[in-house]
Structure 1
Amino acid sequence: MLDDRRASILQALVEEYIRTGQPVSSRAILETSGLKVSSATVRNDLAKLESYGFVEQPHTSAGRVPTHQGYRYYVDHCSPARLRSATRVRIESFFTDVHRELSKLLQETSGLLSDISHYPAVIVGPGLGDERVVALHLVPLSPTVTLAVTIVESGRVTRDIVRLAREVTESDLARAETILSKAYCGGTLAEGAAAIAKIPTGDVAEPVRRAVKAVTKTLAGTEVRSADIYVGGTSQLAELWEDLAQVHSMLGLLERDSVVRQIVDDPGAGTAVRIGAELNVEDVELAVVSSDYEAGEHGIGRVGVIGPMRMDYRRTIKIVEEVSEGLGESLGSS
């Protein structure tokens, strides 16, 4: 734990570096921190902060910049900023009288969050775990490929490609649909998956049995894959990362749902900030601010902003919290 003066110096350094992107001098810290100490005292404290691993000096003649550990300490001890009234009004207006289809709302929310935060934004849709299945349809695409369409009580739909080892006729597929629907519908996805796994098929024709087994295997993973991801603000990448190689790395990252889910999801509820090495992402240094939102009957999802480590954390934390709260309230009342 730092004493008050060194904590103030670190805070001033981090916030000045976030603002300018340039190494911060002791003089700049004195001008922005309001501390009534000498420049020599600030330099001595900066040397101590460097020895603790909170700051580093990129060049001998330059000022200092925060390290991952410095950002971590700053985030753990800062408080969210107050948003401008115009920003709060924009968020409130967006979620007033929401009557949009869920996927459209989540996609538009990612755009809103990106516009306001000035960073790429991610919305992880709620899973379907608590919703009950109302229908299952098997749509033949070819003699060896079918589409399994699952509809849950809120009207949301999942579509899964099922590949069959051998050809199955449409009549056999219709029979398989009837058998599966009786067990799969009426419960949650998890309950349905467990029920169809126990379907007795001993007296069922071989082509129908194969179809039932293939669909059963595919549907076992539906609940895991059902949380859709919506990304907004990728056009801002070039402004945030000057290195073209890092821009390409970020584009590749945002195109991979599994990676996006990994860095935005957090095992703890509420707001979380993950920085640099904590994200286990190679080729680009990141920071992520994310928060849960309650989606009523739809379950729980997550709102997140992805940016460079030189992120305006105090403002971003407040924006993410306001958007997640607004999204949760609109879905809870819809």
Structure 2
Amino acid sequence: MSEDRRLEVLRAIVQDYVRTSEPVGSKSLLERHRLGVSAATVRNDMAALEDEGLITAPHTSAGRIPTDAGYRLFVDRLQQIKPMSRAERAAIARFLDGALDLDDVVSRTTRLLSSLTHQVAVMQYPSLSRSTLRHVELVPVGGTRLMIVLITSTGRVEQRVVDVGRDLTLEPDVVPTLRTLVNELAVGELLGRIPARLAAVEERVAPTDRPLAQIVVDTLAEAAQERTEERIAMAGTANLARVGSDFPTSLSQVLEALEEHVVLLRLMGSMASLDDGETVAVAIGTENPYEPLRTTSVVATTYGTAGGLGVVGPTRMDYPQAMATVRAVAHYVADILDG
């Protein structure tokens, strides 16, 4: 049997099953696809694919469905991810360009991914540890209170109001001078390196201003630390109900797993390690390390160096479309957050 023809039969089975959710028989393959061979040849090819564990019969009918291994071979043999059309790319750009802040970017991204793929969209908020400092703002807010605002390269904003123990309204030049110095030393640095960079602040201010400088430095160091605020945003869980038959015994387990954001954070982290930011990682069914999600597939990538995003759905997924959409959206998100 020709390997190329066998792969063509597998591709046709995957495409038909994804579209119809019905087991695929040799007769329907010949009717829907130009395979250029006889019905007997197709039946022989299907028998060979079944022997190799790439397709299986869900019951005693003549139809076959792909296995996890069959989906994996199909995905691995994709020559390239089909690019999205100009109209699709323009629609993505228009939808995301209107975002007002980081929360809006994340909300729009997950809603867009869910809408385009009809899967559950998952996005990791930009990681502080992989962000750099874009700007620090110091704003007197009355009397002895000072607002300290840290803005990262990914648009994340950390804000604190502290009591500095001195009336800043009586010293209008102190805060601007300190602001300039802090930005000079720390802008462009990874957040984890900010405490070390700001160690020189106290040496470069007047002795009377050192207590104020210490408060600012300590507050910025605390704000720059990675905290348990690492978050996941999600949209489209209702899409799973639309394909509930794909989860005959485990849909509730899948939903419960999706609610566990720690699991999703680890999942995004493990998927991100599988790609270089340009490719898209795909984990199919039993390849997933988390038991409750082993009836699902995950298509994910990274956006810049900040975090991961992707979709979760049944193994009966339109992989080429999901991969193209995830990659395109990730590129737009990276452009927005790095802009």
Provide the TM-score with structure 1 as the length reference: 0.72
Unaligned runs of 5+ in 2: 139-147, 166-184, 199-217
Whole-Å separation in 1 of the counterparts to 2:285 and 2:10: 18
Residue number among 200, 220, 239 corresponding to 2:242 in the alignment: 239
Cα contact 1:113–1:323 (8 A) shared by 2: yes
Secondary structure of 2:226's counterpart equals: helix
Tell me the equivalent position of 1:286: 296
Superposed CA deviations along residues 49-91 of structure 1, whole A, max 9, x for unmatched, are 1111111112233311111100000011124345466533321
Kindly provide the CA deviation profile for residues 146-176 of structure 1, in whole angstroms up to 9, marking residues without a partner as x: xxx984456734699xxxxxxxxx99x99xx
State the distance in 2 between where 1:61 and 1:288 align.
30
Percent of residue pairs identical:
35
The answer on whether the counterparts of 1:121 and 1:304 sit within 8 Å (CA) in structure 2 is yes
**Would you say how many aligned residue pairs link Structure 1 and Structure 2?**
284
One-letter code of the match for 1:76? D
Q: 1:277 and 2:286 equivalent?
A: yes
What's the offset of the Cα at 1:245? 5.2
1:276 is matched by which residue type in structure 2?
G
Corresponding position of 1:257: 261
* Change over 3 Å in CA distance of 1:41–1:320 after alignment to 2: same
Amino acid at match of 1:89: A
- Aligned-CA RMSD value: 3.7
Asked if the contact 1:82–1:315 (Cα under 8 Å) also holds between the matched residues in 2, the reply is: no
Q: 1:124 to 1:39 in 2, by over 3 A?
A: same
Q: Secondary structure of 2:90's partner?
A: helix
Report the Cα offset of residue 250 of structure 1: 2.3
Return the match for 2:322 from 310, 313, 316: 316
Q: CA deviation at 1:302?
A: 1.8
Q: Deviations over 1:101-158 (max 9, x none)?
A: 112211111011101111110111221133349599xxxxxxxxxxxx9844567346
1:190 Cα deviation from its structure 2 partner: 2.5
Distance 1:257 1:150 in 2: 27
- Aligned pairs for 1:80-119 (under 5 A) are 80-81=81-82, 83=84, 86-96=87-97, 98=98, 100-119=100-119
* Cα deviation 1:21-57 (Å, max 9, x = unaligned): 1111011111223111111111111111111111111
Q: 1: distance between equivalents of 2:2 and 2:102?
A: 46
Note closer, same or farther for the CA distance 1:61–1:156 as it changes in structure 2 (3 Å cut).
Answer: closer
In structure 2, the CA distance between the partners of 1:153 and 1:43, relative to structure 1 (3 Å rule), is closer
In the alignment, what sits opposite 2:42? 42
Aligned AA for 2:243? L
What is the TM-score with the length of structure 2 in the denominator?
Answer: 0.71
2:331 matched to 1:325?
yes
Q: Secondary structure at the residue paired with 1:230?
A: strand
1:229 maps to which of 207, 232, 235: 232
**What corresponds to 1:164 in structure 2?**
none
Hey, what's the Cα distance between the residues in 1 that align with 2:192 and 2:2?
A: 49
Deviations 1:300-334 (A, max 9, x none): 2222011100001111111111111121222222x
Change (3 A) 1:188 1:221: closer
Q: What is the alpha-carbon distance in structure 1 between the residues aligned to residue 296 and residue 2 of structure 2?
A: 25
Distance 2:76 2:40 in 1: 28
Contact between 1:238 and 1:244, CA under 8 Å: does it hold in 2? no
Kept after mapping to 1: 8 A contact 2:231/2:265:
no
Residue 29 of structure 1 aligns with an amino acid whose one-letter code is L
* Alignment CA distance shift 1:156-1:51 (3 Å): same
